[in-house]
Amino acid sequence: MNADLLAQARHYEKTYGSRIAPEERPLFHVTPTVGWLNDPNGLSYYQGKYHLFYQYNPYNTHWASMHWGHLVSEDLIRWERLPAAMAPDKPYDNAGVFSGSALTLPDGRHLLMYTGVEEQKRDDGFIDSRQTQCIAFGDGLNYQKYERNPVITPEMLPEGSSTEDFRDPKIWWDEADRCFYAVMGSRTADGSGAVVLFRSGDALRWEYCSTLDRSRNQYGKMWECPDFFPLDGTDVLIVSPMEMLAEGLEFHNGNNAAYLTGRWDRHARTFERLELRALDYGLDFYAPQTLLTPDGRRVLIGWMQSPETGHSQPHDIKWFGQMTIPRELSVRSGRLLQRPVRELERYRGELVICRNVYVRERLCLPQVSGRCVDMTVRVRPAGGALYQKFTIKIAKDTEFYTAVTYDPGSSVLRFDRSHSGFRHNIVASRKALVRYQEGEIKLRFIIDRFSAEVFVNDGEQVMTSTLYTPQNADSISFEAEGSAIIDVEKYNLER
Ligand code: DQQ
């Protein structure tokens, strides 16, 4: 194998990454050093810093030849770039170092656990592909792949499981059972996805435990990027099912992210599912991964891109793919709530507050504009009469805008980027059914140059989407059909 692949990638990203000006990137949302980024990987806290790795092709802005890119941060908001951590340079990962996770070993080393994809061309020209789970050890900067890789092979799975679709290990240490566990996505004999659980005493020798849950062809095909953790008295399983059928207003993105609440029985090693729901209602969200912070918060970062529209890129872009803002998770009444991590508040600059503003038709508010903002808008009916619709337009000028519209009659919130400047025929709008509140709704917008994340009613739902609107389109307007009263609190975000 080509032992120079990592050195080449490091050289390339150093040369070309430095040619991208800071203004060409989001202020806080993670982008690749250069080239293409997809899933968050190896989100962990190691030697006093948060580490985030990512699926990475430095050489162009399309998915190919997966490496692991690498960043570190002290606060989950401001990230420092490190050299690429892994390249597809071994026989067992020659077709890609796919997604995985990380933790600190008792001896102080940083362990990465990932999927190696091996491809071999047969004499008849057919390519055999196989996925196994592998590990690497490192010091937070340089990583060595374990000489006995792979550590888990598809032969260890129940009969009939796919050998090609078996990936994305998420590892953790379980204090109660005094062992490592890892969950992976698998495809069972019925052709649809499952989450399998493995255990190990030393993170090197693994045994299959159980299948925690499965699609049974109801919730999409392959299940990718699982994560599993207890939170607020509930056990939560996260999966990214491919090729889902939409249900009501949920799961319209084809490849979606879902959370399953339920009960983990650690003796039987089973998971009993109670509910399965969408994690995000926007156009661009997939393959999230979580981390338990040293102060006990469960924080999630997702890939802020629909895998299905990743080919619709603006011209001349030098990077493609962004991560969401890290989000703190909690569970209330069986539902997962997501809020931007509190560390973001340290980067709030100038504040504009407008209270009890009467809106009829359209208005703009002085100084309420910008493409790097943290803005909360509360909308309520004016007097006794319920408004018909309320629309907030962002990233707006005379040509472009992106609209978020609430219809209190149907309780539907709609995100629409039809006029945001995409030059391709890609999907432009999504809807979410929000909790009925008699015309009252609270929306927090995190807008960061190339994206908008809308947190509804303190994180009960989120709509996440990328926007490649020219940056000078920075107005914000408020429009009512009928009349409404709003409160606006807008901070500029600053580095
Ligand atoms: N992306 C990775 C896989 C994962 C998929 C490959 C999800 O490991 O299943 O880049 O986006």
Residues 6+ apart with CB under 8 A from 107: none
Band of pLDDT at residue 1, cut at 50, 70 and 90: low
CA distance 307 to 121: 27
**pLDDT score for 98:** 98
Asked if residues 185 and 133 have their Cβ atoms less than 8 Å apart, the reply is no
Longest alpha-carbon distance in the chain? 77
pLDDT tens-digit map of 248-270: 999 999 999 999 999 999 999 99
Which ligand 1 atom is the nearest neighbour of the CA of 66? 10
Asked if residues 100 and 41 have their Cβ atoms less than 8 Å apart, the reply is yes
Asked if residues 342 and 326 have their Cβ atoms less than 8 Å apart, the reply is no
Indicate which residue's Cα is closest to atom 9 of ligand 1.
224
Nearest to 299 by CA among 70, 453, 75: 75
**How is the beta sheet containing 298-303 ordered, strand by strand?**
286-292, 298-303, 327-332, 335-340
Q: Is the predicted pLDDT of residue 37 greater than 60, yes or no? A: yes
**pLDDT score for 316:** 85
Distance 331 CA to ligand 1 centre (A): 27
Q: What value does the mean pLDDT take over residues 482-494?
A: 97
Catalytic residue from among 4, 39, 190, 284: 39
pLDDT tens-digit map of 111-147: 999 999 999 998 898 999 999 999 999 999 999 999 9
pLDDT tens-digit map of 358-392: 999 999 999 999 999 999 999 999 988 899 999 99
Structure tokens at 247: 């249900």
Mean pLDDT, the chain, rounded, equals: 96
Residue to mutate, 224, 239, 242, 308, ligand 1, most ligand atoms under 8 Å from C-beta? 224
21: which DSSP letter? -
Nearest to 454 by CA among 428, 415, 491, 426: 415
CA distance 288 to 240: 8
**pLDDT score for 90:** 97
**pLDDT score for 285:** 98
Residue to mutate, 54, 62, 63, 99, ligand 1, most ligand atoms under 8 Å from C-beta? 99
Q: Tokens 């990987």: give the residue.
A: 41
pLDDT tens-digit map of 205-253: 999 999 999 999 999 999 999 999 999 999 999 999 999 999 999 999 9
Asked if residues 389 and 480 have their Cβ atoms less than 8 Å apart, the reply is yes
* CA distances in angstroms from 37 to 54, 59, 171, 310, 321, listed in the order given: 6, 11, 22, 10, 5
CA distance 169 to 155: 16
Residue to mutate, 36, 39, 130, 243, ligand 1, most ligand atoms under 8 Å from C-beta? 39
**pLDDT score for 314:** 87
Distance 195 CA to ligand 1 centre (A): 15
Strand partners, 451: 466
Asked if residues 416 and 283 have their Cβ atoms less than 8 Å apart, the reply is no
Q: What is the 3-state secondary structure (H, E, C) of 172-184?
A: EEECCCCEEEEEE
pLDDT tens-digit map of 176-186: 999 999 999 99
Kindly report the pTM of this predicted structure: 0.97
Indicate which residue's Cα is closest to atom 6 of ligand 1.
98
| Alpha carbon 356 to chain centroid, angstroms | 35
